[in-house]
Structure 1
Amino acid sequence: MNNKRGKNTAASVRDRLLALSRERGEDFQLLLTQYGLERLLYRLSESSYQNCFVLKGAMLFLLWGDQPHRPTRDVDFLGFGDSDEAGLRAIFRELCDIPVEDDGLTLMADSVQVEVIRDQTEYGGLRVRLFGDLAGARVPIQADIGFGDAVTPKAKEIEYPTLLGNPAPHLKAYPRETVVAEKYQAVVHLGMANSRMKDFYDLWVIAREFDFDGLILSEAIRNTFSRRRTSLPEHTPSGLSPEFYEDAHKNNQWNAFIRKGMLLTAPPLLMEVCLLLETFLLPPTQALIQKMEFGAKWEPGGPWH
């Protein structure tokens, strides 16, 4: 158990989340999970491990704007320090018992499990699973932690927005440039084998909605590709090529992602996504290959100028 709480608080929080899900037309279980992730972040920010984890992944979209763009059921971190299963299990069990202001949520320390991530990226990491309880409602929580990546520019201290006005988490978070660089590296590395359609969607949203300084983005791309030992593509990578976006199987994967994604922004065809990303990502890449300074600016939707 992680704080002194009464049944009334937990029941009240659950009722408020249920009302919020109806108001927004969102899935109640998904909102419960998002609340659990948010309060896990708060416990982390109140612990001695605050500087051992940098927030990354889809939860950043809510930080950058007033909408998450796509719902997520997990939180992603870049971790520093313990990269073994036993050490990470001990940290998260401790987080479950951090004394905090009553938010109605009980995180179950004895439910913490840690496993090695084995996915397409080959960079792996560790996955933490645990459960919370909110007035009898089961709240599944998952945290994916990677290690050893470069962050350019350096991570910034942020205040994470809250669903119900609880005390806000304060922790470090990835800059947009590194989010772009890592997802781009996965596109290049995986090529035609890439089934991570969420990466294409996230990059499309980022390119449409945010501005970038070419000097900073190109540095982030260079540092990420170097750290992950990936060569910069001299031409359009296969993962953004006509071979990719005209492939029937890839279009089926894209359409399945769109159907299941509960997305707030309706994306276009996979071809349109890849063409925008080519316009966004190839110019800084070519400048790096040519060892030229890339001082262009990107306004939302592009192009570079």
Structure 2
Amino acid sequence: MSSSQKRNLPASVRQRLLNLSDSKGIAFDLLLIRYAVERLLYRLTQSNHADRFLLKGAMLFAVWTPAAHRPTRDVDLLGFGSDDLDGMKRLFQELCEIPITDDGLLFDSGSVEVEQIREDARYGGLRVQLLAMLSNVKIPVQVDIGYGDVVTPGAETVQFPALLEFPAPTLRAYPVYTVVSEKFEAMVALGETNTRMKDFYDVWFLCEHFEFDKRILREAISGTFERRRNIVPKLENITAFSATFAEMKKPVWLAFLKRNALKSPELTVVINRIRQFIGPVLEANAVSSVAAKWTPQKGWGD
């Protein structure tokens, strides 16, 4: 690449992302964040720190489905090793300074800030915030890092899809079983105070698009509840699966869909589907009493 091409690359990338935003109907600011996260993950995979993290959260859905999932402005990771603030700041400053110039982005190592996550007292973790520059556009990047969660049946190696023609990050990530188990545990733990409609949407989406092995899902749920010091409930005792809850949270659900420009059935339909999916797994003799495979077309069956 000539020096002239390198100078023009950020503007070229910005225009291509703008074109992609128009063609896909995705807000440009969200697409910029998605691109910056992708390129930060790529830098992570080119460092000595890739084995310290697993990809999780909403960004993981970009790996699983070519269609746009619900929009998100941050990326979630599971961290291993020390959760020291200064150490994490140095790590991300190092990622920012990796000499990659062919994707048009400049990550500002001086902008890196790290703090404890305090709004979720049960889990905690670290929040990293930094700025990326694309031409004259500042892109805020937020990385939330959790610690200590159990991953069942184990981490998977995935390729995070590249928006443009640049090399895609290949990194370790949560399996779908752990995503379901953590979201289900949150539904149980929060009860009627729950406003996290994203968990209901995500679990509904996953059971409509993926096949599951009941034994593995049961192990994942048991492991997550044990790690989070919660008790796996009986189906009839789950507040979040009740008709009363569905009716009470209907305005919250509709606001969530509107805010994220999502199409979905009514919350009652979504919750009933999740009950069909989760319910048999919670039975005491689940392994022997119900067929072991879930398919979106047939539910639990042979």
TM-score by length of 1: 0.93
Contact 2:280 2:286 in 1 (8 A): no
Q: Quote the Cα distance in structure 2 between the aligned partners of 1:259 and 1:279.
A: 26
Partner of 2:214: 214
Partner of 1:239: 240
What is the SS of the residue equivalent to 1:110?
Answer: strand
Residue pairs, 1:20-169, within 5 angstroms: 20-120=20-120, 122-169=122-169
Partner of 1:276: 273
Partner of 1:258: 257
Contact 2:215 2:287 in 1 (8 A): no
Q: Indicate how the Cα distance of structure 1 residues 121 and 244 shifts in structure 2: closer, same or farther if over 3 A, else same.
A: farther
Q: Quote the Cα distance in structure 1 between the aligned partners of 2:116 and 2:285.
A: 38
Contact 2:108 2:132 in 1 (8 A): yes
Partner of 1:184: 184
**What amino acid is the match of 2:245?**
F
What is the SS of the residue equivalent to 1:106?
Answer: strand
What is the SS of the residue equivalent to 2:177?
Answer: helix
Q: Indicate how the Cα distance of structure 1 residues 182 and 301 shifts in structure 2: closer, same or farther if over 3 A, else same.
A: farther
Larger mean Cα displacement after TM superposition, 215-224 or 42-51: 215-224
What is the CA-CA distance between 1:100 and the residue it aligns to? 2.4
What is the SS of the residue equivalent to 1:304?
Answer: strand
What is the SS of the residue equivalent to 1:151?
Answer: coil
Aligned residues: 295
**What amino acid is the match of 2:6?**
G
Higher relative contact order (CA 8 A, sep 6+): 1
Q: Quote the Cα distance in structure 2 between the aligned partners of 1:292 and 1:66.
A: 33
Q: Quote the Cα distance in structure 2 between the aligned partners of 1:143 and 1:93.
A: 13
The CA deviation string for residues 107-128 of structure 1, in whole angstroms up to 9 with x for no partner, is 1111111122233572121111
What is the SS of the residue equivalent to 1:161?
Answer: coil
Contact 2:291 2:300 in 1 (8 A): no
What is the SS of the residue equivalent to 1:221?
Answer: helix
5+ residue gaps, structure 1, are none
What is the CA-CA distance between 1:7 and the residue it aligns to? 2.6
5+ residue gaps, structure 2, are none
What is the SS of the residue equivalent to 2:296?
Answer: coil
Q: Quote the Cα distance in structure 2 between the aligned partners of 1:6 and 1:302.
A: 53
The CA deviation string for residues 210-252 of structure 1, in whole angstroms up to 9 with x for no partner, is 11111111111111111111100113311121221121xx211
TM-score by length of 2: 0.93
Q: Quote the Cα distance in structure 2 between the aligned partners of 1:83 and 1:172.
A: 19
- Structure 1 segments of 4 or more deviating over 3 A? 289-295
Q: Quote the Cα distance in structure 1 between the aligned partners of 2:235 and 2:15.
A: 54
Identity %: 48
**What amino acid is the match of 2:295?**
E
What is the CA-CA distance between 1:101 and the residue it aligns to? 4.9
Q: Quote the Cα distance in structure 1 between the aligned partners of 2:114 and 2:120.
A: 19
Q: Indicate how the Cα distance of structure 1 residues 24 and 235 shifts in structure 2: closer, same or farther if over 3 A, else same.
A: closer
Contact 1:280 1:302 in 2 (8 A): no
Among residues 288, 294, 300, which one is paired with 2:296 in the alignment? 300
Q: Indicate how the Cα distance of structure 1 residues 86 and 302 shifts in structure 2: closer, same or farther if over 3 A, else same.
A: farther
State the Cα RMSD in Å: 1.6
**What amino acid is the match of 2:252?**
Q
